[in-house]
Structure 1
Amino acid sequence: MADENTQNGIAGQPQAQQPQLRMQILAQFIRDLSFENAVAQKGAPTGEVQPEITVQVSLDARKRGSDNQYEVITKYRVTSTNKTEGSTLFLAELDYGGVFQIDGVPQDQLHAFLMIECPRMLFPFVRRIISDLTRDGGFPPFNMDPVDFVALYRQELARRAQQAQQTPADVKLS
């Protein structure tokens, strides 16, 4: 029978415990919010209205003064335009933040954790705010599709890698 404490072929020596991952949301807040109802300002569009909605997402994170505390800001820009004539129907902008206490994440994985997991925790609140904002602004509520933060993170890494390749290593002056 094998010894239950055998790890990596060494009997009697238990494997070192990995630090346990722990994330706690200490605060959530709206940092900036705006809604522009272009229809109300300019008057109802003439002809048929075919709304087309685009969503832009950007992320930012920074370490706070306390140990293992980070602030993550998610920025959303939701634009609705009339496909038939290209005019803007509404523009909603929301900067939504969270303060997180994060323990047990290895340093080399922390950036990805902050840019993927933290925004994922904030997203349901952002979705509700945008939905209420568009409804209260006189439009049908816009229920934003879930955001793939992993894909956003990978796109940003690819963009940075491409930018680094395009930056000339040697600058020659003539």
Structure 2
Amino acid sequence: MAENENGAAPHGTEGTQPSQQPQLRMHILTQYVRDLSFENVLAQRGTGGEVQPDIQVAVNLDAKKRALDHQFEVACKINVTSRNKGGEEPLFVLEMDYVGIFHIEGVSEDQLHPFLLIECPRQIFPFIRRIVSDVTRDGGFPPLNLENIDFVQLYRQEIARRQAQSQTASA
């Protein structure tokens, strides 16, 4: 350690060690709708009357490495089905495959999988929410504002499902 002329360490350097951990860097390079489908079943049937929608939302996540270093593709597939309460006929069906391309550095290999399936979808979710709201409104229904999705819980459920499936397969 360097000392000044009085034999003391320079101000601000006592006990400091250079950081050995790489800095986390994440950039959204692009994001886009890969596939989008909206079907207004209610309008096609031509039925009117009282409508009390019961909305079901399913979310699927997928991530994969791209050919370029540190680039990953994260796809969020949203399936929204609205049915009239007490009925089986759908009012509308919305399916969307939304993709974000990310540049990620500084995430350890053991943390990369959860990072891709938790933090990346969290970053693009506001855009997904806006598109779903606009499409349902433009499709003739009140805008559907998706509730926040707990991507940590979704990740844990998927891990538990895979573990249960592997235990069943090995038994």
Q: Could you tell me the TM-score, scaled by structure 2's length?
A: 0.89
Per the TM alignment, residue 15 of structure 1 is displaced from its structure 2 partner at its CA by 5.4
CA-to-aligned-CA distance 1:84-139 (integer Å, 9 cap, x gap):
32221000011000100000000000000000000000000000000000000000
Question: How far, CA to CA, are the matches of 1:168 and 1:107 in structure 2?
Answer: 27
Residue 80 of structure 1 is aligned with which of 62, 79, 82?
Answer: 82
1:42 corresponding residue in structure 2: 45
Per the TM alignment, residue 48 of structure 1 is displaced from its structure 2 partner at its CA by 2.9
Question: How far, CA to CA, are the matches of 1:15 and 1:156 in structure 2?
Answer: 38
CA-to-aligned-CA distance 1:29-48 (integer Å, 9 cap, x gap):
10000000001111124x53
Mind listing any 5+ residue stretches in structure 2 that lack a counterpart? Answer: 1-12
Question: How far, CA to CA, are the matches of 1:28 and 1:15 in structure 2?
Answer: 36
1:91 corresponding residue in structure 2: 93
1:20 corresponding residue in structure 2: 23
Residue identity matched to 1:20: Q
Q: Could you tell me the TM-score, scaled by structure 1's length?
A: 0.87
1:143 corresponding residue in structure 2: 145
Query: Any residues of structure 2 matched to 1:57-136 within 5 Å, and which?
Result: 57-136=59-138
Tell me the matched-pair count.
Answer: 161
Question: How far, CA to CA, are the matches of 2:160 and 2:42 in structure 1?
Answer: 38
Question: How far, CA to CA, are the matches of 2:102 and 2:91 in structure 1?
Answer: 36
Per the TM alignment, residue 49 of structure 1 is displaced from its structure 2 partner at its CA by 1.7
Question: How far, CA to CA, are the matches of 1:128 and 1:150 in structure 2?
Answer: 21
Question: How far, CA to CA, are the matches of 2:155 and 2:14 in structure 1?
Answer: 41
Question: How far, CA to CA, are the matches of 1:81 and 1:90 in structure 2?
Answer: 7
Question: How far, CA to CA, are the matches of 1:159 and 1:30 in structure 2?
Answer: 28
Farther-moved stretch of structure 1 (66-75 vs 85-94): 85-94
Farther-moved stretch of structure 1 (83-92 vs 96-105): 83-92
Per the TM alignment, residue 164 of structure 1 is displaced from its structure 2 partner at its CA by 1.3
User: What SS class does the counterpart of residue 144 from structure 1 fall into?
Assistant: coil
Per the TM alignment, residue 79 of structure 1 is displaced from its structure 2 partner at its CA by 0.5
Sequence identity percentage: 61
Question: How far, CA to CA, are the matches of 2:94 and 2:87 in structure 1?
Answer: 20
1:9 corresponding residue in structure 2: none
Residue identity matched to 1:42: R
Residue identity matched to 2:164: Q
